[in-house]
Homo-oligomer: A and B are copies of this chain.
Amino acid sequence: METETNRVEAFSDGVFAIVITILVLELKVPEEQGSALWHGLLEQWPHYAAYLVSFLIIGVMWVNHHTIFSHLKRVDRPLLFLNLMVLMVVSVIPYTTNILAEHLMDGDSANVAAILYSSWTVVYALAFLGFWWYVTKVGHLFHETVDKDGARATRVRFGLGAVAYPLTVILSFFSAPLTLVAHFLIALYYAANQIPIPLVVEEERLETGSDLRK
């Protein structure tokens, strides 16, 4: 059975919003007293850095999720579960973030933590690709305005775009802090650059054709 997208979007928005917000629960109050509190706060910089990067990563994920769903008219049961898989992967990010923040400057364990963090972005990219692969394969879930063949053609570019994530896994063997910087830059890149989903109709028709959109 196919249903409209609004409740899946609401549920997904809820999960994204909670995941991105509970990141802050890992920031703990330093116990230092007096002006040593400054020092205690500064020592937490790996937590701040990891918070910033993961917030940006989850934010970009949400924007992409939002963009894809704005092109969908209906959802079917397989899509509900592919979406659930994406959400499960996203939900684990506060955990990998926390591990990386705890161990960022701790020699060997820093590399272990970075490998885990980076590998999880690969898992996310795969879950998202699976989602997009299914949507473009079945086609009939799109709005009428979407160029289905064009959308299908973006799959290769989506896949190529995801190649940055395995590279961060390799980088993780060498430097955890540099890996975090790499993830920051990748997230910034994806924030600025988006693979457009081709439309068969012009933007203007979309503007007026409110009956085509939810």
A9/B9 contact (C-beta < 8 A), A35-B112, A109-B32, A112-B37 known? no
Asked if A81 is an interface residue, CB under 8 A from chain B, the answer is yes
A108/B11 contact (C-beta < 8 A), A1-B196, A21-B91, A24-B94 known? no
Query: What is the 8 Å Cβ interface bit string for chain A, positions 79-91, against chain B (1 contact, 0 not)?
Result: 0110010011001
Interchain CB contact under 8 A, A59 and B37: no
User: A99: which B residues are within 8 A, CB to CB?
Assistant: 29-30, 41
Interface size on A, residues (CB 8 A): 68
| Oligomer copy total | 4
Interchain CB contact under 8 A, A22 and B20: no
Residue of B nearest to A95 (CB): B27
Which A residues between 55 and 82 are near B, CB-CB below 8 angstroms? Answer: 55-56, 59, 62-63, 66-67, 69-70, 77, 80-81
Interchain CB contact under 8 A, B22 and A25: yes
Asked if A182 is an interface residue, CB under 8 A from chain B, the answer is no
Asked if A14 is an interface residue, CB under 8 A from chain B, the answer is yes
Interchain CB contact under 8 A, A194 and B33: no
Interchain CB contact under 8 A, B7 and A113: no
Residues of A within 8 A of B (CB): 1, 3-4, 7-11, 13-25, 27, 29-30, 32-38, 41, 51-52, 55-56, 59, 62-63, 66-67, 69-70, 77, 80-81, 84, 87-88, 91-92, 94-95, 98-99, 102-103, 106-109, 112-113, 116, 191, 194, 196, 213
